[in-house]
């Protein structure tokens, strides 16, 4: 699989099979992703990976928080509102998902709440004193992980829902207070029989979002 094929193969998986992912495989893909560029080679990513009982404890903690009505409080604030054009694309996403998944689209919230039944979640953290420049580095690092995973036949989903209650993640993984829990990527093997996965999100063509000038 070349890079173009991996870019095309990667898509968000919202229902995983229970099959575990080997620790060594996770380490290999993190090793590959560590080639990601970062500002002045700061490599700001600090990575914690949860599986098995540890991940279950995190999922239970999330369910407990959600059940008691605790509002999500990710370390990074959510936007207060989206620009109109962005809202339209989100509506398109929801409509496309409903069209492909039918009744199963109603499970979207539950699948999110249950961490998509993923057997492992990779949490990306960084020092609290860093700026959005380092989040840029973490974003690039995330995509490297997801492409490397795609190449190995593994599925992923980057999801803010996975970091809604960072205190729970900190507690179960022993993450120090000096680090922000920026993001979570669920990883595992896709449940291809689940209709929520029978869906591919739309994209704008490059001619719509890119301006190129000065070419012949
Ligand atoms: C920063 C970020 C946060 C996301 N959060 C969620 C989430 O909480 N739940 C979810 O189902 N998908 C989430 N996604 C997945 C996006 O919906 C998905 O990437 C987008 O619709 C494009 O689809 P694709 O990944 O299948 O290409 C998130 C993606 C990113 C990059």
pLDDT score, position 177: 96
Q: Is the CB of 160 under 6 A from ligand 1?
A: yes
8 Å CB contact between 163 and 74: yes
Q: What is the pLDDT of residues 26-59, one digit of tens each?
A: 999 999 999 999 999 999 999 999 999 999 999 9
Q: What is the pLDDT of residues 151-188, one digit of tens each?
A: 999 999 999 999 999 999 999 999 999 999 999 999 99
pLDDT score, position 78: 87
Band (1; pLDDT cuts 50, 70, 90): very high
Q: What is the pLDDT of residues 61-82, one digit of tens each?
A: 999 999 999 999 999 998 899 9
Whether residue 80 lies inside any domain: the answer is yes
Whether residue 212 lies inside any domain: the answer is no
Q: What is the pLDDT of residues 112-153, one digit of tens each?
A: 999 999 999 999 999 999 999 999 999 999 999 999 999 999
**Ligand 1 pocket test target in 7, 8, 157, 194 with most atoms within 8 Å of CB:** 157
Beta bridge partners, 75, equal none
Report whether pLDDT(25) > 90: yes
Averaged pLDDT of the chain? 96
Residue nearest to atom 22 of ligand 1 (CA): 201
Q: Is the CB of 15 under 6 A from ligand 1?
A: no
Count how many domains the chain has.
1
pLDDT score, position 161: 97
Whether residue 88 lies inside any domain: the answer is yes
Report whether pLDDT(86) > 90: yes
Domain of 98, in residue numbers: 3-199
Report whether pLDDT(9) > 90: yes
Atom of ligand 1 nearest to the CA of 199: 26
Report whether pLDDT(199) > 90: no
The CATH number of residue 116's host domain is: 3.40.109.10
Whether residue 210 lies inside any domain: the answer is no
Residue nearest to atom 23 of ligand 1 (CA): 201
Whether residue 177 lies inside any domain: the answer is yes
Whether residue 186 lies inside any domain: the answer is yes
Count CA atoms within 13 Å of residue 99 on its CB side: 10
Q: Is the CB of 107 under 6 A from ligand 1?
A: no
pLDDT score, position 53: 98
Whether residue 205 lies inside any domain: the answer is no
Whether residue 215 lies inside any domain: the answer is no
Residue environment code for 136-165, b if the CB has 16+ CB neighbours within 10 A, otherwise e: ebbbebbbbbbbbbbbeebbbbbbebbbbb
């Amino acid at each position: 699989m070349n890079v173009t094929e991996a870019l095309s193969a990667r898509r968000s998986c919202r229902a995983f099979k229970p099959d575990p992912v080997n620790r060594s495989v996770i380490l290999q893909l993190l090793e590959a992703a560590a080639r990601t560029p970062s500002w002045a080679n700061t490599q700001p990513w600090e990575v914690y990976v949860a599986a098995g009982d540890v991940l279950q404890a995190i999922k239970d903690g999330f369910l407990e928080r959600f059940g008691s009505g605790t509002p999500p409080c990710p370390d990074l604030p959510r936007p207060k509102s989206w620009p109109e054009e962005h809202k339209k694309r989100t509506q398109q996403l929801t409509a496309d998902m409903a069209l492909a998944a039918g009744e199963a689209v109603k499970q979207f919230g539950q699948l999110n709440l249950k961490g998509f039944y993923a057997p492992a979640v990779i949490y990306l953290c960084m020092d609290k004193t860093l700026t959005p420049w380092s989040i840029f580095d973490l974003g690039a690092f995330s995509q490297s992980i997801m492409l490397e995973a795609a190449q190995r036949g593994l599925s992923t989903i980057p999801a803010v829902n996975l970091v809604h209650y960072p205190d729970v993640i900190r507690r179960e993984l022993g993450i120090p207070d000096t680090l922000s829990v920026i993001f979570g990527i669920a990883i595992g093997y896709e449940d291809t029989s689940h209709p929520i996965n029978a869906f591919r999100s739309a994209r704008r063509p490059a001619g719509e979002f890119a301006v190129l000038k000065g070419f012949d």
